[in-house]
Chain A
Amino acid sequence: AQKVTQAQTEISVVEKEDVTLDCVYETRDTTYYLFWYKQPPSGELVFLIRRNSFDEQNEISGRYSWNFQKSTSSFNFTITASQVVDSAVYFCALSEDERGGADGLTFGKGTHLIIQP
């Protein structure tokens, strides 16, 4: 069975600090996909990134970067120079490819990120 663990329930930092959100996953499949979503106070789920299990290259998008390490089953998310607008709940999610997408995503419990001005 697949599982996603986000051990950090809540993180509070001061604006302009860097912050890393941890995500550890479990799966028996060799082909799988990892996602990060942002849920601002308005409630919608905003897609941030998708990564497949064969692509371990780290990715950077502006102030956001992701570190995928299969050896530790982790897919961590770093925000550099945080801003108040980054305040949200961030979810890590996993899907196995075995059924071609039928199983949907398994989400972690989320990390509530608070950026203080």
Chain B
Amino acid sequence: EPEVTQTPSHQVTQMGQEVILRCVPISNHLYFYWYRQILGQKVEFLVSFYNNEISEKSEIFDDQFSVERPDGSNFTLKIRSTKLEDSAMYFCAKGTVQETQYFGPGTRLLVL
């Protein structure tokens, strides 16, 4: 059974549209993370979320991005107005560095 599930697995959107990517951790955990991987490149940290608040964010995580945990279980990443360069695989992860970070299967986002 996976530690983290993500929906959708794939999403195609038009430039300028809003997208919401969802993550469902199987069990409750302290930290949740979003990462991005542009095709063929390395995995990049976007944001960490602790106790229902953003804990840390990278310079990639600008005003176009937001995260929330609306119902105490789902953990969402919203991109308000997508750009071509937002096309990437987006991974949700749970855990802490004192333990192990488990990654979800990812959502492949394509912006046209």
Contacts and interface: CB of A to CB of B under 8 A. Distances in A.
Q: Do A and B bind each other?
A: yes
**Residue from A45, A91, A95, A103 with most neighbouring chain B CB atoms (10 Å):** A45
B101 A107 contact: no
B56 A50 contact: no
Interface string A63-76: 00000000000000
A106 B42 CA distance: 9
Contact of A104 (B35, B89, B98, B108): B35
A45 B56 contact: no
Nearest to B105: A44
Nearest to B103: A45
Contact of A101 (B31, B35, B41): B31
A35 B101 contact: yes
Interface string B11-39: 00000000000000000001101010000
Interface string A95-111: 11101111111111110
Interface residues of B, number: 30
Contacts of A109: 41-42
A104 B33 contact: yes
Given A101-B98, A102-B48, A104-B33, A44 B42 contact: no
A102 B46 CA distance: 11
A107 B43 contact: yes
Contact of A43 (B42, B95, B98, B105): B105
A102 B45 contact: no
Interface of B: 30-31, 33, 35, 41-45, 48, 50, 55-56, 58, 89, 91, 93, 95-106, 108
Interface of A: 33, 35, 37, 43-45, 47, 50, 91, 93, 95-97, 99-110
Given A44-B104, A96-B97, 13 more contacts: A35-B101, A44-B103, A45-B103, A47-B103, A91-B43, A101-B31, A101-B48, A101-B96, A101-B97, A102-B50, A102-B55, A104-B33, A104-B56
